[in-house]
Amino acid sequence: MASSDGDRGPKMRTWLCDWGQRLEIFLPFLGTSRPLLRRCCQTCTPKSWDGFYQQRFSSLGFRDAIRVTEEDTRFRGWLVRRVCALLAVWGWQVPADTPGDLPARIYSSKRLQDVSSSCSPSSRGDSKSSQRWKEKVLQILAEIQAPLSLLLLRLCHWALLKLLNRLFLNVQLHRGQLEMVLRASSTVRGREAAREGAVAPPGGRAERRLPAPQPGLPLVFLSTHKAQLDGLLLSFILFSQGLGVPRVAVGGQPCSPPLRALLRHLGAIFLPARMEQDQELREAVLTTYVEEVLRSCQPLLIFLEEPPTSLQLSAVAQRWLALVYRAVRGGAVPDALLVPVGIAYDLVPGGARRQGARAQQPLGLGACVWAACQALCQGRGCVRVDFAQPFSLQEFAAKILTRGSSAGRPPAKLLLPSILGLCPSQLEAKRAEVWGPGSPTASGLEAEEEMVVTELGLHALSDGIGCSAVMAVGITSALLLHKHREGVLLSQLMLDFAWLLEELLLRQQDVGFSGQLRALVQHSLSLLRAHLTCYHLAPLGDILVVPKASAEARRELSCHSAAILPVLAREALGACAIRALLLEMLPFLGAPAGPSGVVLSEEELCHKILQLLQLLPPNLLGLQPPLLLSQPCQPLDCQSQDIVDKLLLCGLLEVQVEGKPWGCDLASQRARPWAGLDDSDSEEELPKRCYKLQEPPGSPGFLFFLCRLLSPVLRTYGSAAAFLEQPCWPQPEESCVEALLQFLAQEDGVEHLSWSLALSSLQTFKALGVLEEMQTPTGVLLQPSHLLQSGTNQGKLAAFIQQFHQP
């Protein structure tokens, strides 16, 4: 199913077999090159844009990380073929390890000495007090990490290699991306070092492994999080490919003491427990430890989200990112290279059924073994791991802080007055009356750190989502859920699969598969067989595929199809804005046969798109996030115009001025919008641009398909607006999310009961001023703002969201 070589060729080839059967073979190429990987933000990191990117990769092929043969060892023979996996794992090198004197370094650091002096100034020369202090430091350090056990590390990776071969057909890695990361991580790599390369990694028969990176800038991998297996999987990949044994920052999932001890010896690091006593000491030990890890050039792996709350930067990730930023800001290391990582599964092992607070049970060894046994009973899919372009943390922070001096009110603050029909000044005055004095602001240094860390996490999360390949199951699920809910013939499904595949490739989105078209679709249907019903139609010689009407089936299809949304997010936003305009024009249009031929105003279309951009968080759609500043790296008005351009390029719109169509040269039209008109020096106002709505040739129903891509998001937001009427306020945010999920479960036709979407809707409502936080002795509670406590304003908010939603 997966592409395993670097052959170049057209997108689709037809081969004639010896017995006369024609086979359509898909190769994921347009022209002679693969789609480019996700590049870093050119506005925030211009030097990294040019410095850490290879214009032409030396290899476009793929490597199967779990395929180990006799060629991957230095030995040959019959016995070697039986134990080649063990021999290969035993030959992997550890380029950087924890320094042996790490406890002494931490204890003797200036930060720890200052904390010791401030906590017990009278016992500076007391040997007993000094010994007790040292024991506290060692105890906190033991909670964070443990020295790597190389014997245990190799045995566990050998067992993990066997498990991964049972779980997956292959684990794909792009050879060019690996080479890029290895080159960016090293300051010097001579030809002599290249000649001394170790044994080739799995999957590279005739290729020698690149040498281990020389000490230089530390690598910090910022990864998306799809399943609980991600930590072990990425640790295995980085170790097997010569990038070292990473220190994996464990998130908010609690672990039992035996599992915690095992993971610490394998490279996992944990946040120390929050306790009132010795809190300052714990923070000092943790900060110093992260500095020492980066100084020793050990790779650090941080997960940006917690499943199933995908596309949301977790609080634990923010804390780890803050520690890395402090190390660079304090001069412990000159800089750090950040590498966004994207993971794509055909089928998530174990299913990731966890939902919010109900799944905060400690994870133990027995639960891990049981989850592995359950995963072995599932179908075997493929995995694709992609590395986006590395970028400099120092450069990113400098750019963010340069723009930070001109901070102003976020553009989203202007949306609520527009919805409620109020002037912004009236809204601010009413807020001041209701809210009273605000909470004290953080110090300048803390505000600076929070701003940099938040934007860094959102940028890295966007890059990780953007570089993630689309799998065949995602394409099939999107078609079944958003285009053929009532069922489709297999022959038609294959045609639509090829159509949507071409749309993805035209947008420079890579996919994680290749092979015969029929085999790809059948492979997807086999993995989704529990949620489909197939009928063999003997007279037609075809198969009817019908998605089951159960909530579980809709949920699974929605989970898989979510990978399509980031690729078509801009077009989907534009399509929902067009739907809102058509809804307003419907009383004047009567009952037309279809939307084709309707002329839309550019001003009104851009205004609708801008409102939708202000409503939906960019990271929820996989877009590059605007900064929380008055001069963002991608202003919303520029994004709205970019969305209009996308709609023009995909054929949904045709530009018209006074009834005359314009050409497709969008760049020249922006530079000289008067092109083709009277080019005189008259001061007459330029004619307004209009767009004629049409159906792209070869893409029937494309507009409604794009609208339905955003249906799960908009349905959740609309339900959250209706949830404001519930008499359950005020309540904590976590309880509010649980109550919203229960409220969603009572509705019919909900595709995806997602903790992530529910949490995102509440956070968006807080940012817009729909919900406000109230300080109480028991903690922070949420409640509707004074303006949204009336049924009229709640109805206005629900109607505003509903206009974009396509059922």
Instruction: Say whether pLDDT at 29 is over 90.
Output: no
Q: What is the mean pLDDT of the chain?
A: 77
584 and 695 in a common domain: yes
Residues in the chain: 807
Count Cβ neighbours within 10 Å for each residue of 273-299 and write b for 16 or more, e otherwise.
eeeeebeebbbbbbbbbbbbbbebbbb
Distance, in Å, from the CA atom of 129 to the CA atom of 131, rounded to the nearest integer, reads 5
Burial class (CB in 10 A: 0-12, 13-18, 19+), 168: buried
203 and 242 in a common domain: yes
Question: First and final CA of the chain: distance in angstroms?
Answer: 34
Average pLDDT over residues 165-193: 74
* Tokens read off for 165: 């071969």
C-alpha closest to that of 753 among 568, 553, 565, 563:
553
525 and 488 in a common domain: yes
* Tokens read off for 109: 């650091």
663 and 574 in a common domain: yes
725 and 664 in a common domain: no
Q: Which of 156-165, 203-212, 217-226 has the lowest mean pLDDT?
A: 203-212
> What residue spans of 245-391 are helical by DSSP H?
257-265, 279-295, 315-329, 365-376
Distance, in Å, from the CA atom of 579 to the CA atom of 806, rounded to the nearest integer, reads 8
Instruction: Say whether pLDDT at 519 is over 80.
Output: yes
Distance, in Å, from the CA atom of 187 to the CA atom of 390, rounded to the nearest integer, reads 14
Distance, in Å, from the CA atom of 763 to the CA atom of 617, rounded to the nearest integer, reads 9
Determine which helix (DSSP H) or strand (DSSP E) holds 111, and give its type and residue range.
helix 110-119
Average pLDDT over residues 369-394: 86
- Of 398, 431, 462, which marks where a domain is finished? 398
The values of phi and psi at residue 775, to 5°, are -80, 125
Q: Could you tell me if 347 and 227 are in contact, meaning their C-beta atoms sit under 8 angstroms apart?
A: no
Q: What percent of the chain stands above pLDDT 70?
A: 76
Residue 36's pLDDT is 63
Task: Give 587's contacts (C-beta < 8 A, 6+ positions apart).
Answer: none
Residue 366's pLDDT is 82
504 and 628 in a common domain: no
Q: Which residue segment(s) compose the domain that 643 sits in?
A: 569-671+688-707
505 and 361 in a common domain: no
Instruction: Say whether pLDDT at 23 is over 60.
Output: no
**218 in a structural domain:** yes
* Tokens read off for 569: 């997010």
Task: Give 24's contacts (C-beta < 8 A, 6+ positions apart).
Answer: 12, 13, 14, 516, 517, 518
636 and 493 in a common domain: no
The neighbour count for residue 436, using CB atoms within 10 Å, is: 7
Average pLDDT over residues 113-134: 72
Residue 32's pLDDT is 45
- Of 533, 548, 564, which marks where a domain is finished? 564
Q: In 3-state terms, what secondary structure has residue 367?
A: helix
- What is the residue type of 693? L
C-alpha closest to that of 253 among 370, 144, 362, 367:
362
**116 in a structural domain:** no
Residue 574's pLDDT is 93
Average pLDDT over residues 683-696: 74
**515 in a structural domain:** yes
Sign of CA dihedral 184, 266, 108, 325: positive
Q: Tens of pLDDT along 465-514?
A: 888 999 999 999 999 999 998 999 999 999 999 999 989 988 888 888 88
For the chain, what percentages of helix, strand and coil (3-state, to nearest 5) are there? 50, 15, 40
Q: Could you tell me if 29 and 409 are in contact, meaning their C-beta atoms sit under 8 angstroms apart?
A: no
The better pLDDT of the pair 688, 583 is held by: 583
**696 in a structural domain:** yes
Instruction: Say whether pLDDT at 277 is over 90.
Output: no
**156 in a structural domain:** yes
Determine which helix (DSSP H) or strand (DSSP E) holds 381, and give its type and residue range.
strand 381-387
Instruction: Say whether pLDDT at 110 is over 70.
Output: yes
Determine which helix (DSSP H) or strand (DSSP E) holds 559, and give its type and residue range.
helix 551-561
Task: Give 782's contacts (C-beta < 8 A, 6+ positions apart).
Answer: 729, 730, 731, 732, 733, 736, 762, 766, 771, 772, 773, 774
The values of phi and psi at residue 497, to 5°, are -60, -45
**456 in a structural domain:** no
The neighbour count for residue 241, using CB atoms within 10 Å, is: 21
532 and 551 in a common domain: yes
**435 in a structural domain:** no
C-alpha closest to that of 247 among 306, 298, 178:
298
Instruction: Say whether pLDDT at 429 is over 50.
Output: no
Residue 597's pLDDT is 75
320 and 186 in a common domain: yes
The values of phi and psi at residue 303, to 5°, are -90, 130
Q: Tens of pLDDT along 54-100?
A: 555 556 678 888 888 777 777 777 667 777 878 888 888 887 777 77
The values of phi and psi at residue 423, to 5°, are -80, 145
**193 in a structural domain:** yes
Residue 507's pLDDT is 86
Task: Give 388's contacts (C-beta < 8 A, 6+ positions apart).
Answer: 37, 38, 39, 40, 339, 340, 341, 342, 463, 464, 466, 467
C-alpha closest to that of 662 among 688, 639, 640:
688
Q: Tens of pLDDT along 604-622?
A: 999 999 899 888 887 777 7
Instruction: Say whether pLDDT at 436 is over 90.
Output: no
Average pLDDT over residues 720-727: 86
The string of DSSP codes covering 60-73 is --EEETT---GGGS
Residue 495's pLDDT is 92
Q: What percent of the chain stands above pLDDT 90?
A: 20
Q: In 3-state terms, what secondary structure has residue 406?
A: coil
CATH of residue 783: 1.10.10.10
Instruction: Say whether pLDDT at 200 is over 50.
Output: no
Distance, in Å, from the CA atom of 298 to the CA atom of 148, rounded to the nearest integer, reads 12
The neighbour count for residue 807, using CB atoms within 10 Å, is: 8
Distance, in Å, from the CA atom of 208 to the CA atom of 196, rounded to the nearest integer, reads 9
Residue 211's pLDDT is 41
* Tokens read off for 631: 């001069």
- What is the residue type of 736? C
Q: How far is CA 523 from CA 3, 54, 352, 514, in A?
A: 14, 34, 21, 12
Task: Give 433's contacts (C-beta < 8 A, 6+ positions apart).
Answer: 786
727 and 639 in a common domain: no
The better pLDDT of the pair 501, 786 is held by: 501
Band the pLDDT of 31: cuts 50, 70, 90: very low
Adjacent-strand bridge partners of 693: 653
Residue 586's pLDDT is 79
Determine how β-strand 247-249 pairs with β-strand 268-269.
parallel
The string of DSSP codes covering 142-185 is HHH-----HHHHHHHHHHHHHHHHHHEEEEEEEHHHHHHHHHHH
Instruction: Say whether pLDDT at 107 is over 80.
Output: yes
314 and 208 in a common domain: yes
Q: Could you tell me if 392 and 335 are in contact, meaning their C-beta atoms sit under 8 angstroms apart?
A: yes
Q: How far is CA 438 from CA 424, 432, 773, 774, in A?
A: 19, 9, 10, 10
Q: Tens of pLDDT along 747-772?
A: 755 555 577 788 888 888 888 888 88
Query: Residue with structure tokens 């996989």?
Result: 622
* Count of domains forming the chain: 4
Distance, in Å, from the CA atom of 589 to the CA atom of 262, rounded to the nearest integer, reads 68
Band the pLDDT of 674: cuts 50, 70, 90: very low
Distance, in Å, from the CA atom of 58 to the CA atom of 485, rounded to the nearest integer, reads 44
Adjacent-strand bridge partners of 781: 774
Distance, in Å, from the CA atom of 219 to the CA atom of 294, rounded to the nearest integer, reads 8
CA 697 remoteness from chain centre: 32
Cis amide leading into 661 (omega within 30): no
Task: Give 740's contacts (C-beta < 8 A, 6+ positions apart).
Answer: 719, 720, 723, 758, 761, 762
- What is the residue type of 776? T
Distance, in Å, from the CA atom of 498 to the CA atom of 189, rounded to the nearest integer, reads 44
Average pLDDT over residues 760-788: 84
The better pLDDT of the pair 361, 753 is held by: 361
Q: Which of 337-351, 554-568, 678-692, 734-748 has the lowest mean pLDDT?
A: 678-692
Instruction: Say whether pLDDT at 270 is over 60.
Output: yes
